[in-house]
Amino acid sequence: VNQILLLLLVLTVCAILYNKVHQVPSALKNETVDLETPEEMEEEIPVVICAAAGRMGAAVAAISSIYSNTEANVLFYIVGLKTTIPHIRKWIENSKLKEIKFKVVEFNPMVLKGKIRQDASRPELLQPLNFVRFYLPLLIQKHEKVIYLDDDIIVQGDIQELYDTKLAPGHAAAFSDDCDLPSTHEMVRSVGMQNTYMGFLDYRKQAIRDLGISPSTCSFNPGVIVANMTEWKHQRITKQLEKWMQRNVEENLYSSTLGGGVATSPMLIVFHGKYSTINPMWHIRHLGWSPDTRYSEHFLQEAKLLHWNGRYKPWDYPSVHTDLWENWFIPDPSGKFKLTRPDS
């Protein structure tokens, strides 16, 4: 017995010495090796942002603001068209954003063929990347929960907070109600914005009346979405959205002359009464609706997320609260994207 115990002791000492001799200093370890535990992997926060031609500075500023205000493990999915992907990749890799975790995803606009009714009044709303949010499960496949953000936003809070938004059982997504924040009501009234279904759907059409949705029902804004991919696929949300896009092509049920163009309206129909809500301070919007109407600086400092939805974008002129946006903008190393300012 003593000999066996002695042998076991010798083997243990040898194993310890072997490990010490062959241990790799942490500074020399391959950085690409995944050393995260399963628990840490679950905490990865996927954030989807589009990088459209002519607006890439918006995506860069949004990403910069998110990355700078969180310690969370964020993975950015940057969605673009084939022609724009090299530009956004070069911008990121040649700026301080080279430290972020990101994947560039190509969106094929052919999936939209025959599903968009052409409308010349606001052609920018018909750009293919406006419909990326319809196809989240096709683009992002390994995550249970996903955040989608429009490019004309700035995040001032910790994105972990938004990711932790609770979705009720059976809900595929969470949005911000357009009637949710009293502080924005005066802004809405002053510039004549619509915040009900009447502003998005044509109630003269029988197909809309047949939905049984009151025209005074409060609308929601799909520029910020927290989505459950399992529910989205289970409920075939993408197919439902495509059905209403197709019906609009045939029957002109809504148009970009109305409040939110052709991307908001099908979502209002499909998600009516079946969505959870986002904390109102996580989506302060209408900053791009008028070049004259402003929120108080104190209110904006308290906001977690700012959204310049509307025509007047913070990288163009005229626009409001541009200082809050420029805090996070990173100049284009290639010089292609330039801010439009009064003295430029």
Query: Residue 99: which residues within 8 A CB-CB, separation 6 or more?
Result: 67
Segment 7-15 shows an average pLDDT of 63
Crossing angle (nearest 10°) for helices 56-68 and 85-93: 40
**Residue reference for tokens 């600086």:** 297
**pLDDT given for residue 172 in this prediction:** 98
**pLDDT given for residue 196 in this prediction:** 87
pLDDT digits (tens, 9 = 90+) for 140-162: 989 999 999 999 999 999 999 99
User: Does residue 241 surpass a pLDDT of 60?
Assistant: yes
User: Does residue 22 surpass a pLDDT of 50?
Assistant: no
Segment 269-288 shows an average pLDDT of 95
Distance CA 52, CA 210 (A): 36
- Percentage of the chain lying above the pLDDT 70 cut: 79
State how far Cα 256 lies from the chain centre.
21
Amino acid making up residue 330: I
**pLDDT given for residue 268 in this prediction:** 96
pLDDT digits (tens, 9 = 90+) for 91-107: 999 999 999 999 999 99
**pLDDT given for residue 33 in this prediction:** 34
Please say whether the dihedral angle defined by the alpha carbons of residues 64, 65, 67 and 69, taken in this order, is positive or negative.
positive
Amino acid making up residue 301: Q
Structure tokens at 95: 């700026």
Cβ(94)–Cβ(125) below 8 Å:
no
**pLDDT given for residue 38 in this prediction:** 46
Domains annotated on the chain, with CATH? 45-178+219-237+262-327 (3.90.550.10)
Q: Residue 25: pLDDT band by 50, 70, 90 thresholds? A: very low
DSSP-assigned states of every residue in 192-251 = T---BGGGTS-TTSHHHHTTT--TTSB-EEEEEEEEEHHHHHHTTHHHHHHHHHHHHHHH
User: Does residue 27 surpass a pLDDT of 90?
Assistant: no
Please say whether the dihedral angle defined by the alpha carbons of residues 162, 232, 217 and 295, taken in this order, is positive or negative.
positive
For 34-48, 235-249, 270-284, which range has the lowest pLDDT when averaged over its residues? 34-48
**Residue reference for tokens 């003269």:** 204
Distance CA 89, CA 81 (A): 12
Alpha helices in the chain (DSSP H): 2-22, 38-42, 56-68, 85-93, 136-139, 159-163, 182-190, 206-209, 229-234, 237-251, 261-270, 297-302, 322-326
**pLDDT given for residue 36 in this prediction:** 43
DSSP letter for 119, please.
-
**pLDDT given for residue 29 in this prediction:** 30
Query: Residue 105: which residues within 8 A CB-CB, separation 6 or more?
Result: 77, 78, 79, 80, 139, 140
- Percentage of the chain lying above the pLDDT 90 cut: 68
pTM, to two decimals: 0.85
Query: How much is the mean pLDDT over the chain?
Result: 86
User: Does residue 216 surpass a pLDDT of 50?
Assistant: yes
Distance CA 309, CA 264 (A): 12
Distance CA 105, CA 341 (A): 31
